[in-house]
Structure 1
Amino acid sequence: MGCCTGRCSLICLCALQLISALERQIFDFLGFQWAPILGNFLHIIVVILGLFGTIQYRPRYIMVYTVWTALWITWNVFIICFYLEVGGLSKDTDLMTFNISVHRSWWREHGPGCIRRVLPPSAHGMMDDYTYVSVTGCVVDFQYLEVIHSAVQILLSLVGFVYACYVISISMEEEDTFDFIGGLDTHSYYQDHVELKPVKPVEISNDIDSEMRLLNLT
């Protein structure tokens, strides 16, 4: 009963993680954040693997999901430190884009209440095709929105880690109990030690032949 409850809870939690990861992946694609895009892609694959392992009762897949969950928590803690500029990190660097482009978070210009204006450069010596983007009126700054997204991922991952460990422990206990009471080992042992006795052919008596001869003589 406990294993069924834990499995159902883990299935629901994996579904929530998939929805949240897909939502985050969409906005990271819009902002060309290549490092989070790669992390989200791996996270989606492992969550699907964990969901399959939970449904099909494959503890090894759940173990992979458990290990990845710990790594995913670490990655999201790093993202929080990055946007809050903890430990010398700066949110204005191109770390999240692998230094390929100068794009920033999509929420920087499209957050709730943000008014985006494209202004031509006023400084001398700048190329004519360069423009400035002015963003004003944001209800919540983009870095806090990114922090909220990472915090949600951490919360879901922590709960998923606990449930995954619980399901693994319950499944291992059930396997040990099944082996103790006999299970498949006893059945295979019985099959291996069954002695197959050859079937002896039935000897047909010669009385029938003698009777037939008597009838012919008469």
Structure 2
Amino acid sequence: MSCCSGRCTLIALCFLQLIATVERQVFDFLGYMWAPIIGNFFQIICVILGLFGTYQYRPRYIVVYCTWGVLWVAWNIFIICVYLELGSLTVETPALTLGAPQSISWWREHGIGCQASNATATSTNPVVTGCLLDFTYVEMIHAAIQIVLAIVGFIYGIYVVYMFTEEDDSFDFIGGFDSYSAYQAPQKTSHMQLQPMYVDGPAVE
């Protein structure tokens, strides 16, 4: 199978997903964002399963990867809705922090050009100014990248599972792991039939 095939493309996508998720996990740990931390953890496990299944020709692992990919897309869409504050959702929603104190996006105070003022030991919402890009957009960009990678990974995952299934069917058709060749009918008995030996000279009675 050539390196430009769907299998190699899916392997490359899994590596990209691992890199993007690990990077996101680091900053979620810094901000004590516990719900995203748990989600990232399961994402890393399922991507590793997809990577292993693709490399080792294990379609079931790829199916698990694709199934989780659907849930992962839904979770990241929810995160985007939270940072857009659609409906009753707000940035302070406990769905992301699981109610943990001092749990907030790391990018809120440490983005490019951000300067926190009036931040005290008891202040949970310091005034942040000068940010070149608001932390809500940073979080939404992270979520959007995950959505794109998950959708493309899902498509290639289904394609690779289909390819593996086609290869298994064609292999079984021409004999597969059967003891007999596809071009030789099996014997009625499992005993080896003795054949006469022809040697020079008269036949022995």
Question: Do Structure 1 and Structure 2 share a fold, with TM-score over 0.5?
Answer: yes
Distance in 2 separating the partners of 1:44 and 1:192: 53
**Structure (1 or 2) with the larger CA radius of gyration:** 1
Question: Is 1:144 matched with 2:137?
Answer: yes
Question: 1:191/1:52 Cα in 2 relative to 1: closer, same or farther (>3 Å)?
Answer: farther
Question: Is 1:91 matched with 2:96?
Answer: no
Question: 1:192/1:118 Cα in 2 relative to 1: closer, same or farther (>3 Å)?
Answer: farther
Equivalent in 111, 122, 138 of residue 130 of structure 1:
122
Distance in 2 separating the partners of 1:192 and 1:72: 55
Shift of 1:193: 4.7
- Whether the 8 Å contact between 1:112 and 1:139 is mirrored in structure 2 is yes
Shift of 1:74: 0.6
Partner of 1:68: 68
Question: 1:192/1:177 Cα in 2 relative to 1: closer, same or farther (>3 Å)?
Answer: farther
Long gaps (5+) in structure 1: 121-128, 199-218
Question: Is 1:31 matched with 2:31?
Answer: yes
Distance in 2 separating the partners of 1:45 and 1:136: 38
Question: Is 1:155 matched with 2:155?
Answer: no
Question: 1:103/1:34 Cα in 2 relative to 1: closer, same or farther (>3 Å)?
Answer: same
Question: 1:184/1:68 Cα in 2 relative to 1: closer, same or farther (>3 Å)?
Answer: same
Structure whose residues are more often helix by fraction? 1
Distance in 2 separating the partners of 1:113 and 1:47: 34
Long gaps (5+) in structure 2: 195-205
Distance in 1 separating the partners of 2:102 and 2:3: 49
Shift of 1:194: 2.7
Q: How many residues align?
A: 191
Question: Is 1:172 matched with 2:162?
Answer: no
1:58-117, Cα deviation, whole Å (9 max, x unpaired): 111111101011110011011101111112101123331111214211111011111122
CA RMSD of aligned residues (A): 2.4
TM-score normalised over the length of structure 1: 0.80
- Whether the 8 Å contact between 1:3 and 1:170 is mirrored in structure 2 is no
1:172-192, Cα deviation, whole Å (9 max, x unpaired): 111111111222135399499
TM-score normalised over the length of structure 2: 0.85
Question: 1:77/1:41 Cα in 2 relative to 1: closer, same or farther (>3 Å)?
Answer: same
- Whether the 8 Å contact between 1:94 and 1:103 is mirrored in structure 2 is no
- Equivalence map 1:1-40=2 (5 Å): 1=1, 5-40=5-40
